[in-house]
Structure 1
Amino acid sequence: MTKFLLALHVLAAIVAVGPVTVAASMFPPAVRRAHEEATGVGTVRLLHRICRAYAAVGIAVPVLGVATGAAMGVLGDAWLTASMALTAAAAGVLAAFVLPRQGELLEELTGRGSVERRGTVQLAMFTGVFNLLWATVTVLMIVRPGSTTGA
């Protein structure tokens, strides 16, 4: 059962978190391009929809992670506690900064047709923080300090 839960957890992370990190990273340049060329709003809208949809699906990642950790008996390990805290921070950055700012930029683009570069740069920074948090969690999941696997 542990291997099954672990496989689901890893698959959920790849399928859900991967698209969010890529689409969120593509969003700021797509907004700039759509603003400069006065076209491409559909691409920006699609990237925002991808981020929202896969963020919702991404809730399965920590749920399956906790179930896997419980099955493995490692819920109290420091690397897992740190991973859970970083995952919560990443979710907070996504929910509080990335998705709302994407929505604001999309509204600006469709409403006025103009977007301030400062807004896209700020969004790129928040997206970078989100991606860095997920990269750190991924490294912790692979390295697992103190693991008995010998890795």
Structure 2
Amino acid sequence: MTKFLLVLHVLAAIVAVGPVAVAASMFPPSARRALADPGDQRAAETLRLLHRICRVYAGLGIAVPVLGFATAMSMGVLDDAWLIASMALTGIAAAVLLALVLPRQEELLEAVEAADGTAAAGADATTGATTGAATGVATDSRVTVRLAMFTGIFNLLWATVTILMIVRPGSTTGA
């Protein structure tokens, strides 16, 4: 049963976390492209797709810690330091995704949609001028830079968890 749970845990991590890591990393440069050319429907559609991938797979990602916890219980390693550190880092990664990455993606997506509406109404697409709440987001490139930083932190946390899962300090496997 332990091997079965471990296989499910690893597959869930690959299938759920991998797409979020890739799509979230692609989002900031895609947002910059979409904001630079408000009339580009393809850029806006790409941004919507990347955000949807992040949202959907973030929801599916709950299976990773659930299966990981079941696997750890089965292996009897719930009190090992590497596992406790991995669980803490997983919680921090989830918090970064839910509190910092996804909300900023939504803000940028709204800014692109607002800029697209303004461009369709005849705004100056070369300056990226927008109206309303989107103005601050669309004209401030620091927003996409910050989003890229938060995404990098999210990815770094998952990479660290992966390393801990493979190396498992103090494990008896001889690895």
TM-score class, shorter-chain normalisation, is over 0.9
**Gapped regions of structure 2 (runs ≥ 5):** 117-127, 129-137
> Alignment partner for residue 135 of structure 1, among 151, 155, 159?
159
The corresponding residue for 1:75 is 78
Does 2:18 align with 1:18? yes
Aligned length, in residue pairs: 151
> Alignment partner for residue 121 of structure 1, among 127, 142, 145?
145
The corresponding residue for 1:45 is 48
Return the TM-score normalized by structure 1: 0.98
Determine helix, strand or coil for the equivalent of 1:112: helix
The corresponding residue for 1:92 is 95
**Identical-pair percentage:** 72
Query: d(CA) in 2 for partners of 1:122 and 1:83?
Result: 25
Instruction: Map Cα deviations across residues 39-86 of structure 1 (whole Å, 9 max, x no partner).
Output: 110000000000000000000000000000000000000000000000
Query: d(CA) in 2 for partners of 1:45 and 1:111?
Result: 13
Does 2:88 align with 1:66? no
Considering only CA atoms, is the larger Rg found in Structure 1 or Structure 2? 2
Question: Which 4+ runs in 1 deviate beyond 2 A?
Answer: none
Query: d(CA) in 2 for partners of 1:120 and 1:45?
Result: 15
**Gapped regions of structure 1 (runs ≥ 5):** none
Higher helix share: 1
